[in-house]
Structure 1
Amino acid sequence: MAAPTARFRHQAGQDWLLTCAPYPAAAAHAWDVEEFGEIPSGPLWRVVEAPLVESLSAIQRIGPARVGPILGNVRLDTAWWLLPPELGDDLDDVRGFTVRPAGWSLRCPPVLHSVHGRWWIERPDGSGRLTDPVLLAAAFGPGGYRHSAEALG
């Protein structure tokens, strides 16, 4: 059983995710019937799609405390990273990335559990924290970004 603070944080993340939906009740209903909620990117965050295995390595390179929400799907070998909404063309040339435009709908499960093979690798925590695109690009680049604790050995 999760600690009370973890449950609270996960619920806060789910509440935050619902505030991102144009129709929160529709997303909550979809989750109640074990379907995906449709939440468009745009005003609060953008989405970058990347290979799942490389994403798991990138999380370790960046450091879990420095990444924002990341949705994963084992069946599709795909991860969706939530990044700041002002994302420009910074990541357009990173091999393996697909930068989704504002308005693109992220089909996601609730924060509290998986649905149809999709789960939150890094759950939203309610703070609105997102992954820095510079760190993400560096983590996927040659040699990859390494947070200071890892760089020092």
Structure 2
Amino acid sequence: MPVDAFAHTFAVAARPATVYAHLADPRSYVGLSPLVVAVRDVRTDGDQVTYVALERFRFYTNPIRVTMTLDPEAPSVVSAVVSPGRVRLRAAVTLTPSGDGTEVTESITVESPSLLRRYVLRQARAVQLKRAAELTRRMAATG
């Protein structure tokens, strides 16, 4: 299966600890990721959090299994997503202090069947950019 990777870096007006706390809570992804409309079955085991996110598309709801690995020292959040249709996505978010705020870098690797590749890449990139804009908005509201 084809594997694609891309990254996006942006700044938010909040300290890394504030951004990390927000990203480490699965419930924050409702609305943060524009397709995620609900989160359920949240379980924490050490530095890992697993949950099911419900993505709403035009004609269907897609349940995806997510495993987040948390590292408050880095700080970073790595999410491994298993979606129906043999789509696998890994999103690694690293947070770096920058003045009074934080530089956020999200690196995404996605593996998908050739038939779905263009659609999956388009969706993943659009969601990444919308998530960056929404996180920027939310963090501005905390300051």
TM-score by length of 2: 0.30
